[in-house]
Structure 1
């Protein structure tokens, strides 16, 4: 079970330090009779669960959210905060895998996901440092240049506002580096991810949702009248269940996590950089990420801190990743004054075998979408809305732009996870990953 925000300095780091406080919540208590019966129980208070609860409550449904730890305790409170459009998978490859109808439907849905995120932020006045200034996907070497050229052509063919930059233009927008170019995506941007999750929770509760933290679901029982969800402190009866626990799933839906290979990802935050340098380093305040397999991401927070991220866990390897992050930043921006990082934290990205999300009807009136592969903010938000519409009867299961597939646990899951962790540590131990 993930720790509640603030209980572990390596879990939520800068985001717990700077986010507004969460709304007041209590654990579930009591039995499944009377008031402890709802139309929909949502399990998990991340982006998917909270967006679903907000949509359901707005439509008049009785909704309760059961969260094992705290709001945004999983990936929603730990990620770097890039609000990207689409997925890692190339647009044409998505269509080749899913077919034209579902593939193009998924691209349309996720291409518009950042706009939906920023619209929710504006509508509910969520204080989450929303900066819809775009992102830069930076090309490392000739292979990286070929990748962003292909990605640009495929999105442009679908009318997306993406722009291919040459090396000089990329260097100007970034303020450093030796990338072969970059893909500027005007749809995207950055947010304070834990603040966004807490803001969604506050909005959902304002619409009538009851949210219970410290309420891990240990068991689920099916009866004639629906479902009963059992936590440490109480029981909740519901007609429908939305499972929104993704890579942090355990208990009755543990297999949703076990079908994904866990990939650790860390972030470090610098002190606020001098004001004079902010006009030269990422002057447009775009977030950036590169094409390397062991990638780097970088963005500002509202106070002018640079948040640097890459693959790897902290713990005993914190020194390796800390040193690598310092070398990489110094190589990108030699003018940065040396200073200790203010915070370091990490979480888990769940990777599916084809890097595509999974839609599941787990049982009668039990639905789930999981497997975001490091793209949780936009997809989590729009998929939460989609699951709510499915429960409300506004769409049919076949209208979800993902096929239904059985849950399968990868045979070599543990070995793959160990390979990712060791490989990232080795790359960071010996390399500066200077763009070429």
Structure 2
């Protein structure tokens, strides 16, 4: 039996991963971007398209954080239903955000096509599966709200649902035709390759140690060098490190772990998400389910698996797989990994402009592929023209999140207890 190891599947499945040397000495650029994930790389490509010089400074390597450890669902919208987004932000601002993020999957696929990125993408939608009657009612409401806005969604029930999902355990499923899946590390790597080919300076293993205003712009400092730039984008989201940035105080950290099986084949396996969609269920402590390009079953849920022993992770994965797909029999689990999520109390992202020429984004709440791609492009367009109409939502004036460490610890403890209950078959 293969040994379950702590390793990120997307790293193993991305043969062409760029590696970048540390920043050494002084450099100049029109714009310095902190973070080489979806947001920073999308911003860089938009700036380069306009002829601006760009320097990207990454604390580790491309895709190290939430971008490379993502589930890889190319989702439309936010976790919050569109009517609720408008209640929180107001009718006009909420409509703008709903439209922008509703169209964000198309932007991701446009990037993949334009830059020739091989990230094993699928474009057949995603399936949000109802685990009980309340979940089905929620999906009906979401479908109605999005269809009222002209989006292409469908609620599957009965045999249509079972055939699409490959399980009898979902009472219904919201099929969002706008969405899809990617290998997130391959997507991030492809964006980085495209950016450097177009002239971006990209430096890895260079955590930022300071950010200071100068007479003509900003100085971004690292241990061995610095970048002088007229403008700066902070694009590190939940992986912002150090005390130089206030952005991290507006989120609290959450975690999401995943477990991948060995590649599956045969008629039983072929019926699991046979249309290529990624999926997740309506449980408060949700389970995500997808297949990768090699046929692996990839399961995930909220929680920090770095704190779980491997036997616990294997038992949890066995429990979820046997519940949804008993026809698969006993599975061999290959690897497990954890990523960090930037949560906000209202589950909506935050954009900031702390000072002229300095912008930032955070709080993607687990929807980084589409949100990061859209926000990076939007922040770049704002810096190019200083037109707030380029932004998907107004800059935030929210107060920092209180008791951030306690919130994170409380959430993670609750997730751990729930997963223990799943393993003991007390809950599911």
TM over 0.5, shorter chain:
yes
Residues 376-430 of structure 1 deviation map (CA, whole Å, 9 limit, x = unaligned) = 000100110001101111x512552323223633223222211211111111112
Aligned pairs for 1:146-185 (under 5 A) are 146-185=137-176
Distance 2:260 2:171 in 1: 26
RMSD: 1.9
Aligned pairs for 1:333-412 (under 5 A) are 333-393=325-385, 396-397=387-388, 399-406=390-397, 408-412=399-403
**Partner residue in 2 for 1:294:** 285
Distance 1:202 1:175 in 2: 37
Residues 1:249 and 2:240 aligned together? yes
Distance 2:6 2:347 in 1: 24
Q: Which moved more, 1:288-297 or 1:334-343?
A: 334-343
Structure 2 contact 257–337 (Cα < 8 Å) conserved: yes
Residues 173-220 of structure 1 deviation map (CA, whole Å, 9 limit, x = unaligned) = 111142120100000010000110000000111111110011111012
Structure 1 contact 168–181 (Cα < 8 Å) conserved: no
Unaligned regions of 5+ residues in structure 2, if any?
Answer: none
- Alpha-carbon spacing, 1:399–1:192, altered in 2? closer, same or farther (3 Å): closer
- Aligned-pair CA distance for 1:340: 2.8
Residues 1:58 and 2:53 aligned together? no
**Partner residue in 2 for 1:312:** 303
Aligned pairs for 1:98-117 (under 5 A) are 98-117=89-108
- Aligned-pair CA distance for 1:152: 0.2
- Alpha-carbon spacing, 1:349–1:177, altered in 2? closer, same or farther (3 Å): farther
- Aligned-pair CA distance for 1:435: 10
2:189 is paired with a residue whose SS is helix
Structure 1 contact 141–435 (Cα < 8 Å) conserved: no
**Partner residue in 2 for 1:29:** 24
Distance 1:291 1:434 in 2: 18
2:25 is paired with a residue whose SS is coil
Distance 1:425 1:174 in 2: 27
Q: Which moved more, 1:328-337 or 1:302-311?
A: 328-337
1:428 is paired with a residue whose SS is helix
Residues 1:224 and 2:219 aligned together? no
2:43 is paired with a residue whose SS is helix
**Partner residue in 2 for 1:267:** 258
1:75 is paired with a residue whose SS is coil
Distance 1:251 1:435 in 2: 39
**Partner residue in 2 for 1:82:** 73
Distance 2:382 2:332 in 1: 48
Give the TM-score taking structure 1 as reference length: 0.93
Distance 1:12 1:390 in 2: 38
Residues 1:198 and 2:189 aligned together? yes
Structure 1 contact 136–183 (Cα < 8 Å) conserved: yes
Q: Which moved more, 1:207-216 or 1:409-418?
A: 409-418
Distance 1:251 1:233 in 2: 16
Structure 1 contact 241–366 (Cα < 8 Å) conserved: yes
- Aligned-pair CA distance for 1:112: 0.8
Residues 264-301 of structure 1 deviation map (CA, whole Å, 9 limit, x = unaligned) = 11000001112323331111111011111100001111
- Aligned-pair CA distance for 1:251: 2.5
Structure 1 contact 249–255 (Cα < 8 Å) conserved: no
Give the TM-score taking structure 2 as reference length: 0.95
- Aligned-pair CA distance for 1:170: 1.3
Structure 1 contact 98–403 (Cα < 8 Å) conserved: no
Count of aligned pairs between the two proteins: 423
Structure 1 contact 131–189 (Cα < 8 Å) conserved: yes
**Partner residue in 2 for 1:5:** none
- Aligned-pair CA distance for 1:86: 0.3
Aligned pairs for 1:133-144 (under 5 A) are 133-144=124-135
Structure 2 contact 19–62 (Cα < 8 Å) conserved: no
Equivalent of 1:72 in 38, 41, 63: 63
Structure 2 contact 375–392 (Cα < 8 Å) conserved: no
